[in-house]
Chains A and B, each alone.
Chain A
Amino acid sequence: MQLGRVIGNVVCTVKTASLAGQRLLIVQPLGREGRAMGRALVALDSVGAGMGDTVYWCRGREASFPFLPADVPCETTIVGLVDVVNIPGSTFAIP
């Protein structure tokens, strides 16, 4: 899993049937100091995340498991809303 921040969303009218009803959010991965790290990506949401939220997300086939028994084609899913990041010596702040 990795830390990230929700910075946007994507709207698709035409999409594969198994994505119907899913929210598509743009997540910017964050490093240990809370700064952007690497490319932004599109993730599904399994916990009700919103714009600006600090979250953690999961990558890989495992990312589709929150939606079982449905087979949802996604490899990045937000699986938690972060309340506190405790890294001694880090400046990580949750807005």
Chain B
Amino acid sequence: MNDLIRLTMAEAKDGLHRKMFSSVELTEVYLASMERNRSINAYILETPELALERAKESDQRLAKGQARSLEGLPIAIKDLFCTSGIQTTAGSHILGEFKPPYESTVSGNLKNAGAVSLGKTNMDEFAMGSANITSYYGNVINPWKRADGKDLTPGGSSGGSAAAVAGGLAIAATGTDTGGSIRQPAAFSGVVGIKPTYGRCSRWGIVAFASSLDQAGPMTRDVRDAALMLEVMAGHDPKDSTSASLEVPSFEKALNQGVKGLRVGIPKEYRVDGMAEEIQNLWEKGAQWLKEAGAEIVEVSLPHTKYSLPTYYVLAPAEASSNLARYDGVRYGHRVSGKTLDELYENTRSEGFGAEVQRRILIGTYVLSAGFYDAYYLKAQKVRQLITQDFELAFQKVDVILTPTTPAAAFALDEKPTDPVVMYLNDVLTVSANLAGIPGISIPAGLSKQGLPLGLQLIGPAFDENILFRVGRVIEEAAAFKSFLER
């Protein structure tokens, strides 16, 4: 039965349909693994009874031949997705015991496709972080270890989801990505993670961080699973006015189309300062694999790359300061009383928000305040335009762009930088795709000298996730990466 834990979603789906095991059996294997691995703190809330109940229903459907596309597959939901009647914290103290009276569209889509939710995964508070160390519910520990045995970060903000998928605590998980929060933890934990095009997945019911950048996406064991799961998560939703009213294509069909004749861009500006040599080597290897599979490698220029992070650190905090104004201790969540209403607000917010969230609210408030709006916020919106245009020009020359996902492998929790700006540099290679609203995927492609997973990133034009799955599959096959569970 323990072999079940290594199956991908596609393999487990096949096993369920061939009656090799039941959804209850599969779910029980995962629940036992979650219990055994509590020390990595991947979950904020486990929901074993609900999971078994759902698994039983799935088994009945499977028996009757009424299986839906993810029937009986045990997944985890990042605790940023509102789940009806189930505590949702966003990794923050300020949401208290909040139980949403509604279900997010994306988690609802997964539920309606038959997926069995095991619980809610840990994350950086309000998705603000790159190491999963800002959660009110504690740090998440990467299942991977270096030779020195130190506890490593799984990355963030979707660190709990990444650790759960890597360590066998869920067959797949949802994540969200505002500046790299799916792709960076996927790279650090040796799993696949895709941030789809802005507008591909509905944001309705996802606790908002930066509304013009946030996108949900799957974190999975391989590229096929990512295609399978994104197909279910995506789709137009009238409740999110920014969700695209486009048909969701069959992502699975794109998987085996190969890369013959495709033009793959290598952006020279992504050779950033401080990029580890092993990352540089892996990047070259990735280009070589694609060349051998029949693609043409072309150098491209994205001249405003350097300004992506500073642009992000104006726009994301600005949107966050506005989105987080709703946490006032009045309608839901944690409350600290005060003599006046203003005092109640201040007491509640000062106690309820962690340090990183407060920093970003303050930056956001400042850049939006009278007298500074043009110099910071409007300026950043203009540079965002230039960053987006860089990609538009590049995609006139190439079909897809290949880069590393992160400038280095996972770091130890006690090596975390104390300067917030140094921490922000984790997202230097991922954040541009959010600003331009285009899709990006991270694929585990090799190991560092210290034996830790490294990821390659593919970036595609808007609404062309298919190209990412197609090229991603070729990288995956060439890399023949062995996951944590296969070691």
| A and B held together in a complex | no
Interface residues of A (CB under 8 A from B): none
Interface residues of B (CB under 8 A from A): none
